[in-house]
Structure 1
Amino acid sequence: MTTTRKGRENKDERLLVIACGMIAREVLAVKEQLALDHLELTCLPAEFHYYPDRIPPAMDKAISEAKAEGYSRIFVGYADCGTGGMLDAVCEKHGVERMEGAHCFAFYQGIDAFEAAGDRDMLAFYMTDFLCRQFEAFFIKPLGLDRHPELAADYFGNYEKLVYLAQTDNPELDKVAEDAAEMLGLAYEKRFTGYGDLTKALAGAAILPA
């Protein structure tokens, strides 16, 4: 678990966001953008993206520890993320809220836009800024594509296109996504989403108590 917490005299004002490591940079960007000085961040490992069964118990522990440290305002920086409702059970247990939606690909686009694109994105492979930055570490090496690139057809043969959901306008990341689409034999599409519903959710969660 990584953390960017810092002490404050008035603990009731602090908002602790316990988020997926895959959106840490984005949470901090929104914090700076909205001047949410009382927002503090701690993250569960980004690799849990591939092991959703690990998210609920880890979140349960993280929330319990945060409450023991004196945090009374906690927001869960996850959508359901493949937990099949188990994360919701943890949130309900502790009386906290999480990001709306099925996963970050949904809330980056905005839930309404994601649902509207459902049929045409049925065979889409999504990438984000994080996944572009970590393409080697999260896809190439674990799947052995650095040694056996021919396996790409086996792993990604059921997809038709790669959709890069861009949080920032970064030509280097765009190039990574384009190259990935070419390597995987997929059509390429870029959608600039910015931070999507993450901005609204954090702004709402960070409203200070009267």
Structure 2
Amino acid sequence: MDPVLIIACGALARELKAVIAANGWQHVQLQCLPADLHNRPERIPEAVREKIRAGRARFTRILVGYADCGTGGLLDRVLEEEGVERLPGAHCYEFYAGTQAFTALADAEPGSFYLTDFLVRHFERLVIRELGIERHPELASMYFGNYRRLVYLAQAEDAQLHEQARQAAARLGLEFHYQFTGYGGLHTAIVRFQRQQGRDARTEQVSWQS
């Protein structure tokens, strides 16, 4: 099969590697950008563009493992210019939970702060330290004063992560809500992309032979 490159957010690395391994895709390579870019979403589009252009010489097909991720449509503009597809949705919470389930969560409590397995593992670094709460605890109420609950969208059934998420909610003074999602729409989207590429490749071959 033609070589495929997935350019992804580092926050999805563990799950994407698992999907690739589970399907035995030897022809798929994963390259991740730092998850810290989510704190500077305006930098994501050009960082992705650089990866796309660097990968074109080696890879026939490229998929971008980002949702919009706070870029306000700028990532989609870059991908349209480069002719590359991305994962569906506004953010990883949506494609993990699924659009319908995520909409229901948001409607039930608009003031929800979401965590995934990755964000639970790196809560201290990405939330407490990056937002300056470690040095200035009073900032927690400024950042999270309008939130009511913390929603942990779990990819793995892990008791330790569950407890860490619960502690994170308590630290921010938020109600705790747990919802197991598994890989959700992430797995579905990657498999669909692979199948589509396979159909496209067969169509190209038939057209060439005819």
TM over 0.5: yes
Residue matched to 1:119: 107
SS of the residue corresponding to residue 79 of structure 1 reads coil
Maintained 8 Å contact 2:106/2:112: no
Q: CA deviation at 1:150?
A: 3.9
Q: Distance in 2 between matches of 1:119 and 1:141?
A: 30
Distance in 1 of aligned mates of 2:122 and 2:162: 13
* Cross-structure match for 1:20: 9
Matches within 5 A, 1:127-142: 127-142=115-130
Deviations 1:113-137 (A, max 9, x none): 2223332131000001000110111
Tell me the equivalent position of 1:79.
67
Of the three residues 176, 180, 203, the one matched with 2:164 is 176
Deviation track 1:132-177 (CA, whole Å, cap 9, x = no partner) reads 1101110112233334434322221110000000000111111110
Which residue in 2 is equivalent to 1:94?
82
Unmatched 5+ stretches in structure 1:
1-11
- The higher radius of gyration belongs to 2
For the residues of structure 2 that align with 1:81 and 1:173, how far apart are their CA atoms?
A: 23
Matched, 1:40 2:29: yes
Shift in Å at residue 92 of structure 1?
1.1
| Paired residues of 2:133 and 2:140 also in contact (CA < 8 A) | yes
Secondary structure of the 2:106 match is coil
* CA distances 1:30-78 after superposition (whole Å, capped 9, x unpaired): 112222222210011111111111011111111011003x212000100
Aligned to 2:206: none
Aligned residues: 198
Output the TM-score relative to the length of structure 2.
Answer: 0.89
For the residues of structure 2 that align with 1:135 and 1:117, how far apart are their CA atoms? 21
Distance 1:148 1:55 in 2: 28
Deviations 1:10-42 (A, max 9, x none): xx6111100001111110011122222222100
Match for 2:156: what amino acid?
T
Contact 1:36–1:206 (Cα < 8 Å) also in 2: no
Q: What secondary structure does 2:108 align onto?
A: coil
Pairwise CA RMSD: 1.4
Is 1:57 aligned to residue 46 of structure 2? yes
**Per-residue deviation, 1:201:** 0.8
Which 4+ runs in 1 deviate beyond 6 A? Answer: none
Partner Cα separation in structure 2 for residue 125 and residue 19 of structure 1: 23
- Bigger mean CA deviation after superposition, 21-30 or 145-154: 145-154
**TM-score between the two structures when normalised by the length of structure 1:** 0.89
**One-letter amino acid of the structure 2 residue matched with residue 89 of structure 1:** R
In 2: Cα distance, 1:79 partner to 1:187 partner: 27
Paired position in structure 2 for 1:161: 149
Pairwise CA distance, 1:94: 1.6
Q: Which has the higher helix share?
A: 2
